[in-house]
Amino acid sequence: MSVEKLKEKHRLLAQFQYIPGKVEKGYANRTLYVNLSENRIAEKPVSQEMKEKFIGGRGFGLKLLWDGVTGNTKWDDPENEIIIAPGPIAGITQYPGAGKSYVVSLSPLTHTVIDSNVGGYFGSLLKFSGFDALEIQGKAEQDVIVFIDGVNGTVAIEEASQAVVNSHILVEQLTEMYAANEEDKVNVSVVSTGAAAEHTLIGMLNFSFYDKRRKAVRIKQAGRGGIGTVFRNKKIKALVVRGPRIKGDLNHPADKTLLDKAGIKLHKEIATLDNSQNKMRIGGTTYLTKIMNDYDILPVNNFKFGSHPAANNIASDAFIKYFNLTGHDGCWYGCTLSCAKAINAFELKTGPYKGQKVLVDGPEYETVAGVGSVCGIFDPEYIIENNFYCDTYGIDTISFGTIMAFLMECYENGIINKEITGGLELNFGNGEAAMEVLHQMARGEGFGKIAGLGVRRLKKLFVEEYGADPAFLEDIGMEVKGLEYSIYLPKESLAQQGGYGLTNKGPQHDEAWLIFMDMVNNQIPTFEDKAEALHYFPMFRTWFSLNGLCKLPWNDIVPANNRTTAEPAKIPEHVQNYVDLFNGVTGMNITKEDLITQSERVYNFQRVFNLRMGFGTREHDQVPYRSMGPVTVEEYESRQERYDKQLKEKVGFDPEGKTTEEKIAVLRKYREDQYQKLCDAVYKRRGWTENAVPKLETLERLGMDFPEVVEVVKKYL
């Protein structure tokens, strides 16, 4: 069907008119509210207090969601919301990595609040269309598209039952449909998911942008926490924004010279140093695979091991040969770090699009290791194909990989068998079977539908239905809070075990990545050092999410003299850049210390939000033993020399003549005890009780002692 015919089939359910207005110092000063149950569209003002306390991005998302739901709201209740917000710095073109959107919702995986970040143009175009956030509540009766026309000042809910659901087709169609002409395509961005988001709990969202050089629509993913599942549960097919033409001053920054200076300085750094540092411009984040393998932290076979002889097959070179036009792969204007790689005309070998040549966005490191090494698969073409289908079906590659790896270990241990999997031989390394599970997820049938429940629910199911040993599944099921682990092996870094466990949303590395500081460079040896790092870095990284920024240009490129600074891990010069960007846009005058305080406010609020939903205490910060140490004899013996040495030197236990089982037990006791001590130290540093609850004095210090927040916390004090 032609695009014109498809458009004719859209039926207008509601329309709202507004005056697009002007962004001032990074803020549009209003948010857009869309209720799909009532077909109601409205705008809400943004108060000064909201800006001071919540800044923007994830902060605005959390604030709006808090107001929209209660402690009893379930993820699939109509009152659950999806909020997309960019943040005050988002949309500047001068500094790399300034086009991120943050998405907040109640997660079907964790049953509490989730946030996920994503590139693409949607957030910035939304703001320049007049809104600091888009808040969607309710459920539509039929599939709908929400279209925000920031040029003409209209918002419409359109019924669109005929539109396809899979993203790679839908984003092309909608970009064509809603752009005024070819030149206008860069001003259109689409949010969509895919067929598998309807049948699993690990659905994600694709955010599009038009790639002028490739003349194709590209997609970036808000992967974590199942927000795509919420999206389809609300019967949303797509959100479309059409914004104004982008210029360098659409944020009307208070002092643009600060942005110009910081940006040009970083562009120069990238131009001169990227090639000798991470070669992001050539290979994106795929450079990480080799490093992780070299340091024994590349998850292999469900996080049993940290390296594999075949890992070279999926190192960056294996993908660079597929990437084309690599010099300008920014997911927003001005990102010269250019990590958003793409593969043109990849011929698919499986599934409904078999034989077609498609454009594949990525793969990035997390996908390479997630659908690859952690499942014992070292075939680049499998990884590319899986990446494509995960994207178009709306599946988070990280959760998919970690789930498959768990299933493979269960299969190899006889917990599940061919009868249960519907004939699939789910041994580690079987890419063909894993692909079939993915296609089943999209079709909503067979074992794929079961796999899509996620590791937490699978553990329960296997215990209840198949008599599996619950203790073993708790040890090897790589999830915390219901969210699957992202793809780094934290066994040998206590700080990173905390970096995953002591998070608000679950084990995702965007809060803290401390493995090198801790394990490789030994820069944070004491509990207090680790606690300080687990305070500072999560707060610092949270700040990106408040402002619409990407983390990568902070430390995936560093100034030539960074090593000689007082605190190289913080990249002090880049921290100052961020202070300048914030002050340059908003006209405020914050310091680098204020930056941390801004994050603390939102971070503590999010912790209280977890408490409000019935989670958030110490027990929810506990991690599976697989992330702390060797669960099985096979694991221990694969690194016996390392573990024996630790028993001798750290535990004071002589391993000589002991069985592996005895040694595992002693090491486990030691490591579990270390983790509890870490929890104590971190909670203390964060101003929380031993039960991980923010103290009243902490909330007061931060000015976050709103009555309804205090009411929640008091129940736990």
Which stretches of the chain bind other proteins, using CB under 8 A?
A: 93-94, 186, 212-213, 246-249, 256-257, 260, 263-268, 270-271, 327-328, 330, 333-336
Token couple for 669: 């006791």
CB of 558 to other proteins, least distance (A): 16
Cβ-based nearer residue to other proteins, 246 or 342? 246
Least gap, CB of 543 to other proteins (angstroms)? 22
DSSP 661-681: HHHHHHHHHHHHHHHHHHHHH
CB neighbours (10 Å) of residue 448? 22
Q: For residue 148, which phi and psi values (nearest 5 degrees)?
A: -105, 115
What's the min distance (Å) between Cβ of 187 and other proteins?
11
> Shortest approach of other proteins to residue 367 CB, angstroms?
24
> Pick from 536, 483, 578, 493: which is nearest to 686 by CA?
536
C-alpha span between 259 and 362 (Å, rounded): 29
- Name the pairing type of β-strands 40-45 and 113-118: unpaired
Closest distance of CB 563 from other proteins, Å: 22
Instruction: Classify residue 30 as exposed, middle or buried by CB count within 10 Å of its CB (0-12, 13-18, 19+).
Output: middle
Residue (336 or 402) nearer to other proteins, CB = 336
> Which C-beta is closer to other proteins: that of 9 or that of 247?
247
Question: Residue 15 Cβ, how far from other proteins at the closest point, in Å?
Answer: 31
SS (H, E, C) 152-191: CCEEEEEECCCCCCCHHHHHHHHHHHHCCCHHHHHHEEEE
Locus of tokens 């899979």: 166
Nearer to other proteins by Cβ, of 246 and 713: the residue is 246
What DSSP character marks residue 313?
G
Minimal distance, residue 245 CB to other proteins, in Å: 8
ω into 363 cis (within 30 of 0)? yes
The number of angstroms, rounded, from the C-alpha of 191 to the middle of its chain's C-alpha atoms is: 16
Q: Which is nearer to other proteins, 59 or 91 (CB)?
A: 91
Q: What is the rounded distance in angstroms from the CA atom of residue 3 to the CA atom of residue 161?
A: 14
Rounded to 10 degrees, what is the CA torsion of 277, 286, 171, 130?
-40
Instruction: Indicate the residue among 23 and 109 with the shorter CB distance to other proteins.
Output: 23
CB of 316 to other proteins, least distance (A): 22
As a whole number of angstroms, the distance between CA 241 and CA 406 comes to: 39
Residue 162 CB, nearest approach to other proteins (Å): 34
Query: For the chain, what is the largest distance between any 2 Cα atoms, rounded to a whole number of angstroms?
Result: 79
Cβ distance to other proteins smaller for residue 253 or 372: 253
Instruction: Confirm if 319 and 341 have CB atoms less than 8 A apart.
Output: yes
Give the nearer residue to other proteins in terms of CB position, either 277 or 638: 277
User: Smallest distance from the beta carbon of 260 to other proteins, in angstroms?
Assistant: 6
Q: From 295, 302, 275, 236, select the one nearest 80 (Cα to Cα).
A: 236
Q: Which is closer to other proteins, CB of 122 or CB of 537?
A: 122
| DSSP character string of 568-588 | GGG-HHHHHHHHHHHHHHH--
Provide the minimum distance between the beta carbon of 251 and other proteins in the complex, in angstroms, as a whole number.
11
Closer of 94 and 387 to other proteins (Cβ):
94
Give the position of tokens 């562009």: 267
Strand 144-149 relative to strand 113-118, pairing: unpaired
Nearer to other proteins, 382 or 554 (CB): 554
